[in-house]
Structure 1
Amino acid sequence: MALEGTDRVEPLACGRDAADVWDHAEAGTLDEHERTCPHCVRARADHDRLGGLVARMAAEPLRPPPSVLEQVMGAVVADLRPHELLHLGPDAWLGRPTAEAALRHVVDTMDGLRARRCRIEQDRVPDGVGGVGAAPVWVRMTVAARFGVDLASVTARVRQMLISAGDRTLGVPITGVDILVEDLWEEPA
């Protein structure tokens, strides 16, 4: 078992890899050497002590600093600002965070993509102007894609899905969609 970010993991004095010994102990598949070798026995004991320490730390209740509540409340209040509304028509508005969450959900239902961030930009509707329909918007979406997926095809599909969802589901005409693929992930073998 090689650790990421390191060139080489030093073996135990007996030549065995400590991580392999730990894995064998957890699986109950220790060989004769691993059961009797003093180096392997010590490695298993160290692993057990570390596991106990981690379990105790995980059981301790979290005590966030008092400033966390203030920061969370500040973020909640910031989300309620009036400029975070999309104009849908006369006396009709939609919360921008709600619309963005709905569009992220559309992407998350697609195979091979995961939505990261979504930002909807709409030109400000002047006060006193009550148009018949919603003002058009532009969507900027960042996504992570599964390694090996055809990016050109999947991003074109995302654009189509977002434009359709904006018009049919949200009642907001989408004039353009920018998609930034900012990360890749690989499915486990």
Structure 2
Amino acid sequence: MAVERSGAERVEPLACGRDAADVWDHAEAGVLDEHELTCPHCMRAHADHDRLGGLVARMAAEPLRPPPSVLEQVMGAVVADLRPHELLALGPDAWLGRPTAEAALRHVVDTMDGLRARRCRIEQLRAPDGSGDDPAAVWVRVTVAARFGVDLASVTARVRQMMISAGDRTLGVPIAGVDILVEDLWEEPA
């Protein structure tokens, strides 16, 4: 007879009918009963518990050494956060951090069915006189991954329209154009 645990799948008992988790709990507490001390199936479960406990203890005692790539990624993020962020001019006395605007526009892509944003870069175009005092339009370049089989022409046109609308209405940044580069595909599992 299988034992059903709350929130878990059904677990088959040991050949003697006992639940291995109960044997482990009894071994942990030091209260094995007569059956568990003499039954070969329970003794094997108890021995497995001891071996696993020893392995876990040895692994816990080993110092953690993250791969160099993790350290590089963390340090890159820290250094990037320390750099002054470039600002987008919204008006004579209004500015918006470029990373904030880029994150908002990536979110627009992520809400679309069939696309996932990878990177987004905003370049502010300067006013004709080069002053940049008045809000100038921006150009957005976004890289995406697309679901295999999606109509790329249709979905990228919708994303382009939504990004232009979000830039103007939500961020207050007029978007002059959007370049979309599809750099990867993914397939939904069957």
Partner of residue 173, structure 1: 174
Quick one: structure 1 residues 46 and 188, their matched pair in 2 at CA, closer, same or farther if it must change by over 3 Å? farther
Distance 1:95 1:2 in 2: 58
1:96-134 superposed Cα distances (whole Å, 9 cap, x missing partner): 111111000010011111001101011357999463434
Moved more, 86-95 or 31-40: 31-40
Q: CA RMSD in A?
A: 8.6
In the TM superposition, residue 93 of structure 1 has moved relative to its aligned partner by 1.1
Distance 2:102 2:131 in 1: 24
Moved more, 101-110 or 61-70: 61-70
Moved more, 79-88 or 120-129: 120-129
Moved more, 142-151 or 77-86: 77-86
Distance 1:2 1:178 in 2: 58
Quick one: structure 1 residues 173 and 8, their matched pair in 2 at CA, closer, same or farther if it must change by over 3 Å? same
In the TM superposition, residue 10 of structure 1 has moved relative to its aligned partner by 31
Contact 2:156 2:180 in 1 (8 A): yes
Quick one: structure 1 residues 77 and 91, their matched pair in 2 at CA, closer, same or farther if it must change by over 3 Å? farther
Listed as ranges, the gaps of 5+ residues in structure 2 are: none
Contact 1:87 1:125 in 2 (8 A): no
In the TM superposition, residue 84 of structure 1 has moved relative to its aligned partner by 1.6
Partner of residue 155, structure 1: 156
Q: TM-score, normalised by structure 1?
A: 0.60
Contact 2:126 2:136 in 1 (8 A): no
Quick one: structure 1 residues 91 and 151, their matched pair in 2 at CA, closer, same or farther if it must change by over 3 Å? same
For the residue of structure 1 that corresponds to 2:134, the secondary structure is: coil
Distance 2:85 2:126 in 1: 9
Listed as ranges, the gaps of 5+ residues in structure 1 are: none
Moved more, 8-17 or 64-73: 8-17
Equivalent pairs, count: 188
For the residue of structure 1 that corresponds to 2:85, the secondary structure is: helix
Please identify the structure whose Cα radius of gyration is greater.
Answer: 2
Distance 1:96 1:177 in 2: 16
Partner of residue 59, structure 1: 61
In the TM superposition, residue 91 of structure 1 has moved relative to its aligned partner by 1.8
Contact 1:143 1:179 in 2 (8 A): yes
Contact 1:139 1:178 in 2 (8 A): yes
Distance 1:37 1:159 in 2: 69
Quick one: structure 1 residues 19 and 92, their matched pair in 2 at CA, closer, same or farther if it must change by over 3 Å? same
Quick one: structure 1 residues 111 and 127, their matched pair in 2 at CA, closer, same or farther if it must change by over 3 Å? same
Distance 2:11 2:78 in 1: 46
Distance 1:42 1:179 in 2: 60
Runs of at least 4 residues of structure 1 off by over 2 A?
1-83, 123-135
Identity, % of aligned positions: 91
